[in-house]
Structure 1
Amino acid sequence: MNIRVANESDLPELAELYHQTVQTHGLRYYTVEQTQIWASFALNKRLFRKFILDVTTFLAVNETGILGFAGIGTDGHIASLYVRHDCLHQGIGTALMNAMLEYGKNEEIKRFYAEASRFSLGLFKKFGFQVYDTEVVERKGVEFQRDLVDLSIN
């Protein structure tokens, strides 16, 4: 497995990975309606492009294609962290989190933060992120609860 930065040509494969992963595993934590709305985000090409390319998005890749992706902003905001639906629990999320944290340290970021879904909260906690609040967001008339997590580096 190699880690590299995403580019424009990766967008179709990333959108498919996102959509399939949410559809396949979202129902463990969310209702059918929540899962469908969450997954549909990848269908909006303009917003999905911004989601991937407006931050530094790292990709985990091997000979089968993209295994996962994770994006981080210059302010330490972790914008995304997704692993391909058939590759969970193989260390890919860990590798991507390590890449983001290393990038952040090189950029002298002192605080990392994210809005963690129930799906990803365990990985954040594994790296020492703490839940400091929860929020409810609305997407297309459907509410989602997310945990706000952060990690400070001294």
Structure 2
Amino acid sequence: MLIRDFISGEETELRRVFMSSVHTLACDFYTKEQLNAWAPAAYDQEKWISKIAALRPFVATIGGRVAGYADLQESGYIDHFFVSGDFPGRGIGSALMQHIHEVAAKRGLLQLSAHVSLSAETFFTKHGFLIDERQTLAVMGIPIGNSRMSKALLANNSFKPNPLRGSA
């Protein structure tokens, strides 16, 4: 597995990962209507390209195939964190999370935060995040539950999954 910076031109592939992650890995936590509102088949390609360019995500590849991606904003906020439904349970999420922690250390960040889907909540908890607030957001008029989560980092920002929660 290789984790690298996003390369302009692979926005369509990241959209495929996003769609696969939402519709495959989150399907036990949300209704079909909620999944379609969150990740609709029809989308504005220019907005997506602009969003990905602004996120500057890290991309995980296996054998040259994009298997997942995640970003880390200057504030410590993780906006996108998605693993393809084609690669579940292969350590991609954990590798991306470790990479985020390494980048956070280089940037001197003291906290990470994210709005986390119900399907990803356990994963983030295993990596030391705590639920700050459960919430319901309207996406395309459809209510979708998620959690605002955060994690205080150690002074040296070392990556340590929560030993009481197991590992992903």
Shorter chain as denominator, the TM-score bin is over 0.9
The one-letter amino acid of 1:95's match is A
Q: 1:97 to 1:132 in 2, by over 3 A?
A: same
Identity of aligned residues (%): 24
- Residue 43 of structure 1: how far off its partner (Å): 2.6
* Matched residue, 1:35: 35
Structure showing greater Rg: 2
Q: Which runs of 4+ in 1 moved over 4 A?
A: none
* Matched residue, 1:149: 149
The gaps in structure 2 that reach 5 residues or longer are 156-168
- Check whether the contact 1:114–1:149 (CA below 8 A) recurs between aligned residues: yes
Q: Distance in 2 between matches of 1:131 and 1:90?
A: 25
**CA deviation string 1:72-98 (max 9, x = no partner):** 101000011111102111100000011
- Residue 121 of structure 1: how far off its partner (Å): 0.9
* Matched residue, 1:2: 2
Structure showing the higher helix proportion among its residues: 1
Aligned length: 154
Task: State the SS of the aligned residue for 1:86.
Answer: coil
Structure showing the higher strand proportion among its residues: 1
- Check whether the contact 2:20–2:86 (CA below 8 A) recurs between aligned residues: no
The one-letter amino acid of 2:24's match is T
* RMSD across aligned positions (CA): 1.5
The gaps in structure 1 that reach 5 residues or longer are none
* Matched residue, 1:128: 128
Task: State the SS of the aligned residue for 1:8.
Answer: coil
